Structure 1
Amino acid sequence: MIVVSGLRKRFGSHTALDGMSFAVEPGQVTGFVGPNGAGKSTTMRVILGLDAPDAGTALVAGRPYRSLTRPLCHLGSLLDAGALQPGRTARNHLLWIAHSQGLPSRRVDEVLERAGLQTVARRAAGGFSLGMRQRLGIAAALLGDPPALMLDEPFNGMDPEGIVWMRQHLRGLAAEGRAVLVSSHLMSELEDTADHVVVVGRGRVIADTNIAALLKTAAAGRVTLRAGASSIDAAAGVLEAEGASVSRTDVGTLTVTGLPAEAVVTLLTTRGVPFAEISSHRATLEEAYLELTRDAVEFRAATGSEAAA
């Protein structure tokens, strides 16, 4: 288990962390998301003892990472898939890490197989694609068979097959009872992978919640109604008379709030108003994320002359 409590960190005049607090529970994948500059990388570096906080604590199995004996047996991490000696083979890269932790050589072969790298184990890692380096990084993180894992952008560089593998692999690790923290900008992948999400901005936690609950809140009970040109106005009138809020979002399409889909169907059917389709709105994690971080983005790309300046 990873527990972050009240982390504060400044770099000169810049506040990177401003009371960051959350926990990564065993048996689930926790997504860690936020805009660039939100404090995700700094938080992960503090957890690993690479940066010292000005205040607060980051504990792994109840202790600071630096105080752990054989730390890879408590927390496996992947922050930079390119952090390797390019002339070493994949197997030798893992061997020196394993030896540093007092782990047996057979463990190297086990994680190579689990990462799908057994056929390229004796190739120089410097010639690997980014996706293969990600797999090698996952293998390194698993060397100590740790109960917790922390991965930064593990989907980067993956081809479609690799993305499916990564998604299934992460869920499999959680199913084994491990606590898995995954930072990513790929909301669609996290939506299909994570059970829980921690959304951060400006060094603080904005939301710390179950993904299903977050998406339900983001959907806000909206219903999409499609009807022909001859009945769309009549449908809007019937629904507004019942207290619903109705807005026209496209030709022949209404967005309805204040009434569930079943009630909309009953009302229009009873009043004899024809319609083509009614569906409850299903929010995406990306939609929920953008709404939550609307005021937490420190930099937005400029266009035209602003970009040139």
Structure 2
Amino acid sequence: MQDANKTTVTKFVLMGFNNLDIFEKILFFIATMAYVICIFGNFTIIILVRVEPSLHTPMYFFITTFAFLEIMFVSVTIPKLLALLMKATSTISMIGCFVQMYALHALGETECFLLALMVVDRYLAINNPLRYPAIMTHKFCSALAIVPWIAGFIISLMPSICTILLDYCGPNEINQFFCDLAPLQNLACSDSSFSNLATQIAAVLSVVFPFVTIVVLYTDIIHTVLKIESNEGKQKAFSTCSSHLIVACIFYSTIIIVYIRPKGSQYDKFLALMYTVITPPLNPFIYTLRNTDVKNSLRKLIRQLLRELSL
């Protein structure tokens, strides 16, 4: 009789930032600009690497893969955030919520593994420069680039399925601007301890393990670079790694805080703004403004476009 009185939830309400009226308007402008800049910046990198022969190297191949992944990642969350800020709709169907949750985590975990793969590429280039061209062939790079996608989409299945199988009988308000694991688990009227454990295991596999790999490899890379006698050689080696290191530090710092302890804190949505809205549009600038090869290629492409337009 008790089970019969339960009401099954068919949709969720995303609370977003509905209690901060002035902040909502500012955030709408910031999110809109971030989305436009992120899409435009990453598409520019993809086109630039594709048309410029000097950038047809493994490092830039992985950067274009990362750029494509970033476009997909922000497209999962920012459009819904904009709809919430416009007061267009705050509801999302149960199926839509679970699809967004899985897509977000699959793409996020793919990004974690891809960032680790990119440092492996830099490790081989600096520590094994003579063997690097023979190892990192185009065929091998293409095969390697698939691995983060497979790992991300498979590992994210475990906590996603455990969360989907929970019973939801009310309330249905999610204190977040997208469907996330911890807020959904907190809404469940059945025991969510196993799904919490699955989330933490997935976080260790897809966040902690790649982060530790990055730290260990960069420690060895720095040790190798410091042995280079010429200042020019040191500067060139550091310039190829610094951009990736900045992106990785910003991304992992917020991810680790939110997902290693999935308690559903009220501050999680503000931290989520960092890795879903603030940092993605910064990444194209970090990779271009701190990279001489990309800046030179961009200038070359702009000059060519201007000449064609003048004709």
If asked which structure has higher relative contact order (CA below 8 Å, sep 6+), I would say 2
TM-score relative to the length of structure 2: 0.21
Q: Per residue, is there more strand in 1 or in 2?
A: 1
Q: Per residue, is there more helix in 1 or in 2?
A: 2
Larger radius of gyration: 1
